[in-house]
Structure 1
Amino acid sequence: MRIAFFVNSIELETASYTTTSLALAALSRGHEICYVTPADFILRPDDRLMIRARSLNGTKPKKPETFISALKADDAKMSVVDVSEIDVLFLRNDPSEDAEGRPWAANVGANFGRLASERGAIVVNDPSGLSLAQNKLYFQDFPQAVRPTTLISKNIEEIRAFIDDHRGGVILKPLQGSGGKNVFKIKSSDEANLNQIFEAVSEVGYLIAQSYLPEATAGDIRLFLMNGRPLVRGDVYAAFRRVPAKGEVRSNIHASGTAEAAAITPAILAIAEKLRPKLIDDGMFLVGLDIVGDKVLEINVFTPGGLPHIQALHKIDFAEEIVIALENKLAIREAYGGTLSNRALATL
């Protein structure tokens, strides 16, 4: 099986990324892997879709650091490949990373991913589903029972009124974004710096105001779902608690959060079950849920990360289960002679 991983850039890939874990798991199972970035698609006049693929130059490293070094090396292999020769295109880019500096690149994965699926590649997560999830408005389509009370607006007076209605505090963040960037906790609409915060966040688009959940002081739980269901091996779930640094409202690892083991309760599994129907309908193969108490703060469908943290905590490499699931999708496609849609295959 040949798997192409679509990422924002080769330069920004690191040994700690979940994509690295997935690539190493694929190599260990005897598969070919390559990397593709937003500038690497070519649609030729004869309607063939080609990709400029970067792959390792004959090496099969086992350690993440060695793998990343080989991927970034000057002698890494570059080749132009017809997408019909790719079995799986795994979309692992973060559109928000490109939204400001390279807006042309933000939707490349979903757009060219759809063309790739039409030419025979299995594309996960399903590109048509991902096109619905270009920002956090996607979250509002899920059951209200699992969402914090939320306002989306660019009007400062609407936001002030929302803050006044939620005396326990409000979280302000951009509609488009990830990694905990520009996330603020507001205690009162009288805060002196509210206008500055509003200007900073609204500069890039709409704002989300969410009621603050007191349980968030202990961090949130990142739970992986695969094919619409919690990813689990034995009695260990692919999950961990992200604990914020002292005095920090964000629990993101990129924002100095730390990873700890998480207890997955029946209540958390019930939350995941409430989300399952839409995730399956949208072809979301691999998803990361960020859960606080009985609410989901975010649904990460583009680049859910954290598998290396889970492996460090539990000595379990869940990347192997994910690659096996891709192998199964390829077998199902062949058994059905290509008659199943990509969206159906994505969550089978």
Structure 2
Amino acid sequence: MRIAFFVNSIEGETPTYTTTGLALAALSRGHDICYLTPGDFVLRADDSLSVRGRTLPSKRYKKAESLHAALQGEEAAIETMDVGDIDVVFLRNDPSLDADTRPWAAHVGAMFGRLAAARGVVVVNDPDGLSLAQNKLYFQEFPPAVRPETLISKSIDEIRGFLEAHPKGAIMKPLQGSGGKNVFKIGSPDETNLNQIFEAVSGEGYLIAQNYLPAATEGDIRLFLMNGRPLERDGKYAAIRRVPAKGEVRSNIHASGTAVAVEITPEILAIAETVRPKLVEDGMFLVGLDIVGDKILEINVFTPGGLNIMHDLYEVDFAETVIEALENKVALRDAYAGAIANRMLATL
């Protein structure tokens, strides 16, 4: 089969990205791959949908670095193909990276992914589901039992009131964003730099304030779910603990956090089970949960990362399990001749 990975840009990809690991696993299993970016779709007058995909030779690369070098180099070729020649479109872009500089590109994947699904392509995560999750407001649709207490506002008076009600402090961050950008811990409403922080974060739109969880000093747990359930292979869970750097509130790897192995407890599995029904309903095939204590801080549905780190920590190729799941979806699509909706197929 042919898998198309939709990303923000080719030059922005790295050997350590989860997308690279997924592409490597797909090639190792004998599949064709290509990469798509926001400007690569063409909807013609006859209603046919084509893409200009960056393709790689169908060979087995031993290392992610080799695959990445080929993608960026002369081995890659641009091929125009009908979308029907693609079996799976894997939407792996981060809309927040394009929101400021290329707002037209932020949601192109979901827009054209919907058209591809209507033409029989398996699209994951489901584009209609992703349209519901364009910012962190989506998180508020999950049960309160697994969420920190949260305020969403553009009013500094509301923020101050929330801080007064939470003497242990709060985390403040933009409603739209990723990678730990503009995330601050506020100790009290009397902090002298609160106005400056508010101005910096509110410039990106609405703010989220969440009650601070003391367990966050130990970092958070990134747990992958696939088809609504914890991703496992060889008796290992696809999970890491991300430990923040000294003096840092963010545990994101991009913010100098470090990753260590973690034991997944029944309590963590119970949290995952609580969010499973909605993720399945929304067609969220591959998801990353960020968990602190008994709460989820974020649900990453666009481009969750970390599978490469988990591979190194546990010597388990979780990416191969993900590709196996896609093979099963294509087989079901063919067996049912399009009778199963993409949103359902995405999590079967």
Normalising by structure 2, we get a TM-score of 0.99
Q: What residue number does 2:261 align with? A: 261
Equivalent residue for 1:227? 227
C-alpha offsets along residues 68-97 of structure 1, whole Å, 9 cap, x if unaligned? 110011341101010011000000000000
The 1-side partners of 2:74 and 2:201 are apart by: 39
Give structure 1 regions of 4+ aligned residues with deviation exceeding 6 angstroms: none
For residue 25 of structure 2, what is the aligned residue in structure 1?
A: 25
Whole-angstrom distance in 1 between the partners of 2:60 and 2:5: 16
**Number of aligned residues:** 348
Distance in 1 between the 2:58 and 2:232 partners? 33
Q: Deviations over 1:168-223 (max 9, x none)?
A: 01000000000000000000111111000000000010000000000000000000
Amino acid at match of 2:251: S
Indicate the residue corresponding to 1:196 in structure 2: 196
**Displacement of 1:233:** 1.9
Q: What's the offset of the Cα at 1:35?
A: 0.0
The C-alpha deviation readout for 1:14-51, integer Å capped at 9, x for no partner, is 00000000000000000000000000001011111110
Q: Which residue matches 2:166?
A: 166
Residue identity over aligned pairs, in percent, reads 71
Structure 2 residues without counterparts, runs of 5 or longer: none
Letter in 2 for 1:67: L
Partner of 2:155: 155
Deviates more, 1:284-293 or 1:52-61: 52-61
CA deviation map 1:220-270 (0-9, x unaligned)? 000000000001124310000000000000000000000000110000000
Alignment match, 1:307: 307
Look up the match of 1:293. Answer: 293
> 1:73 maps to which residue?
73
Aligned to 1:46: 46
Contact 2:287 2:299 in 1 (8 A): yes
**What residue identity is the alignment partner of 1:207?**
L
Which residue does the alignment assign to 1:140? 140
CA deviation after TM superposition for structure 1 residue 61, in Å:
1.8
Return closer, same or farther for 1:234/1:57 CA change in 2, 3 Å cut-off.
closer
Unaligned runs of 5+ in 1: none
Letter in 2 for 1:317: D
Question: C-alpha distance in 2, partners of 1:42/1:57?
Answer: 24
Q: How far apart are the structure 1 equivalents of 2:21 and 2:57?
A: 19
- Identify the residue that residue 331 of structure 2 maps to in structure 1: 331
Aligned-CA RMSD value: 0.8
Say if 2:124 is the partner of 1:124. yes
Alpha-carbon shift at residue 58 of structure 1 (Å)? 5.5
Q: For residue 93 of structure 2, what is the aligned residue in structure 1? A: 93
- SS of corresponding position for 1:204: coil
Q: Distance in 1 between matches of 2:252 and 2:219?
A: 9
CA distance in 2, matches of 1:57, 1:265: 42
Letter in 1 for 2:252: N
- 2:31–2:58: 8 Å Cα contact kept in structure 1? no
Which secondary structure state, in structure 1, belongs to the residue aligned with residue 241 of structure 2?
Answer: strand
Name the structure 2 match of 1:207: 207
Structure 1 residues 116 and 290: alpha-carbon distance in aligned structure 2, compared to 1, 3 A threshold: same
Provide closer, same or farther for how the CA distance between residues 25 and 75 of structure 1 changes in structure 2, counting only shifts above 3 A.
closer
Query: Counterparts of 2:33 and 2:76 in 1: how far apart (Å)?
Result: 12
Instruction: Quote the residue 1:251 is aligned against.
Output: 251
Q: Give 1:321 shift.
A: 0.4
**Matched residue SS, 1:159:** helix
> For the residues of structure 2 that align with 1:75 and 1:331, how far apart are their CA atoms?
30
